[in-house]
């Protein structure tokens, strides 16, 4: 090993005047030319209709409709095919307001489900097994006819096919609604739990800690956030770009339900059908047929969904340019997505009065964020100010898509803010979007979330509410 280190330092790094030095210099020169040369145009707009290379075109309302249909389809597959419920009243309620997480915990196999502060209404490792054990009809979906405990391989395969279908839908929804589109390998490589050899998980539960004066301090609610590490330019800058993508509640709950109640059962079936195949910490591991989740497979799933619900197929590469084009046109300039935004220097900014408190303490704001009074949710390489900007960008993207994660509230002594022209562009056809979102709402689940799992509608209350919706 010492010999390898010796020759690596002699021939493989900058400053050695060898072949590797020449290749690195040539690569740097090529990248300099690439990033300072404009690419050919691919995006065109006609009103609210966007076009990519002339072959993919759709309106913003079509995009919102597609996302709504993907969410509806995902809920049906998750609740009825995987969680095996007969009505949504049987679905356990996620305790959003009390969920906690600890990104600092590096224990192998650990995630927010093991946090002792979280009190779940049902046990994740026995809920589905108990339901199947108490219901003969559900047993028939897994057990061979004429036996008591023999699993039916074909029926297990059918259930696992449903798992793969849901994973594909979830992958597309997280990719589209989380904010700036990640690279294919970045999102397909996300981990739900800490792995071996220091591989940390990428998905966290974050209490919606108020980043602005308008946030609700007294009624916090958790959000699901996935974190990717962007490696482009790492060999030059020596720094990874850590990106936070916040999911809207209706997509985040799909992930939590699957991770909480379906995955433990699915892993057990995987072991049965693959004779003890090793378990993976990946959110999208190799499936029961031995197929991996990679960028080409992700593209095929996106194309099927977009072709089905909009009539125009687009994949990972097309969506990356389309999403950036949409954000540049409709979102505020400081929240619009960019291809490659370099890290900014976090020095003193006279336009931000709050920075003066850090200067008064004898250091610049960047040092304050890196060293002093860091919150438990701040992972290595992350500061609160940057996480705040990612949150705001995701929030604005959700609002544009009609998937707001704001909790609307009336504050006494304050007037409602008027929506200016720029803000109104972010909410076209707002009444239509709101009406469609209401019709998709699970009113039984919302009632139980507000009043407890035992709450039920009385008399004709449910029918009246549904007729209004």
Least confident interval from 3-12, 256-265, 326-335: 3-12
Q: Higher pLDDT residue, 220 or 65?
A: 65
What pLDDT is attached to residue 183?
Answer: 87
Tokens linked to 271: 């072991």
pLDDT at residue 103 above 90?
no
Mean of pLDDT over the chain:
78
pLDDT at residue 383 above 90?
no
CB atoms within 10 A of CB 394: 23
How would residue 160 be classed by pLDDT, with cut points 50, 70 and 90?
very high
Pairwise CA distance, residues 67 & 254, whole Å: 14
pLDDT at residue 233 above 70?
no
What pLDDT is attached to residue 25?
Answer: 82
pLDDT tens-digit profile of 63-83? 999 999 999 999 999 999 999
Q: Higher pLDDT residue, 242 or 409?
A: 242
| Strand arrangement, sheet containing 49-52 | 43-46, 49-52, 56-59
What pLDDT is attached to residue 36?
Answer: 80
Least confident interval from 60-74, 86-100, 110-124, 143-157: 143-157
Least confident interval from 136-145, 158-167, 334-343, 411-420: 411-420
pLDDT at residue 176 above 90?
yes
What pLDDT is attached to residue 236?
Answer: 42
Q: Higher pLDDT residue, 202 or 429?
A: 202
Of 401, 393, 315, 328, nearest to 67 by C-alpha is: 401
Dihedral of the alpha carbons of 335, 339, 341, 209, in degrees to the nearest 10: 40
What pLDDT is attached to residue 380?
Answer: 61
What pLDDT is attached to residue 141?
Answer: 87
User: Average pLDDT in the 315-329 region?
Assistant: 92
pLDDT at residue 422 above 50?
no
Task: Calculate what percentage of the chain has a pLDDT beyond 70.
Answer: 71
pLDDT at residue 218 above 90?
no
Largest CA distance in the chain: 84
pLDDT tens-digit profile of 434-461? 565 566 667 777 777 677 777 888 888 8
Least confident interval from 14-18, 350-354, 399-403: 350-354
> pTM for this structure?
0.74
The most confident of the ranges 140-154, 264-278, 353-367 is 140-154
pLDDT at residue 139 above 50?
yes
What pLDDT is attached to residue 89?
Answer: 87
pLDDT tens-digit profile of 267-276? 888 777 665 5
By the 8 A CB rule, do 433 and 402 touch? yes
């Amino acid at each position: 090993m010492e010999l390898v280190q010796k020759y690596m330092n002699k021939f493989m790094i900058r400053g050695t005047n060898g072949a590797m030095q020449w290749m690195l210099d040539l690569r740097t020169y090529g990248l300099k030319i690439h990033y300072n040369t404009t690419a050919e145009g691919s995006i065109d707009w006609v009103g609210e209709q966007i076009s990519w290379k002339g072959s993919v075109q759709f309106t913003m309302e079509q995009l919102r409709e597609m996302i709504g249909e993907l969410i509806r389809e995902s809920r049906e597959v998750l609740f009825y095919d995987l969680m095996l419920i007969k009505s949504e009243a049987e679905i356990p309620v996620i305790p959003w307001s009390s969920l906690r997480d600890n990104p600092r915990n590096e224990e192998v196999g650990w995630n927010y489900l093991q946090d002792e502060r979280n009190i779940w209404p049902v046990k994740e490792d026995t809920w589905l097994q108990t339901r199947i054990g108490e219901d003969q009809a559900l047993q028939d979906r897994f057990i061979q006819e004429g036996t008591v405990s023999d699993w039916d391989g074909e029926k297990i395969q059918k259930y696992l096919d449903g798992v793969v279908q849901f994973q594909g839908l979830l992958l597309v929804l997280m990719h589209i609604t989380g904010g700036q589109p990640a690279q294919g390998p970045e999102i397909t490589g996300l981990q739900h739990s800490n792995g071996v050899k220091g591989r940390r998980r990428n998905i966290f539960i974050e209490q919606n800690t108020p980043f602005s004066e308008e946030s609700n301090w007294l009624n916090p609610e958790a959000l699901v956030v996935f974190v990717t590490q962007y490696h482009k330019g790492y060999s030059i800058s020596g720094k990874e770009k850590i990106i936070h993508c916040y999911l809207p509640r209706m997509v985040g709950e799909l992930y939590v339900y699957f991770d909480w109640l379906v995955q433990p059962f699915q892993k057990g079936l995987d072991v049965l059908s693959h004779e003890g195949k090793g378990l993976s910490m990946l959110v999208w591991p190799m499936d029961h047929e031995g197929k991996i989740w990679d960028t080409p497979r992700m593209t095929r799933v996106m194309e099927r969904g977009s072709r089905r619900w909009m009539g125009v197929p687009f994949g990972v590469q097309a969506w990356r340019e389309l999403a950036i084009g949409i954000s540049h046109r409709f979102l505020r300039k400081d929240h619009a997505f960019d291809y490659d935004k370099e890290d900014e220097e976090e020095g003193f900014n006279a336009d931000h009065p709050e920075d003066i408190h850090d200067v008064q303490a004898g250091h610049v704001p960047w040092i304050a964020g890196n060293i002093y009074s860091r919150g438990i949710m701040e992972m290595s390489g992350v500061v609160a100010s940057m996480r705040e900007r990612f949150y705001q960008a995701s929030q604005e993207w959700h609002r544009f898509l009609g998937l707001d994660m704001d909790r609307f509230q009336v504050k006494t002594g304050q007037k409602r803010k008027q929506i200016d022209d720029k803000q109104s562009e972010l909410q076209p056809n707002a009444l239509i979007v709101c009406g469609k979102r209401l019709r998709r709402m699970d009113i039984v689940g919302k009632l139980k979330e507000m009043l407890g799992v035992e709450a039920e509608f009385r008399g004709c209350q449910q029918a009246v509410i549904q007729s209004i919706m």
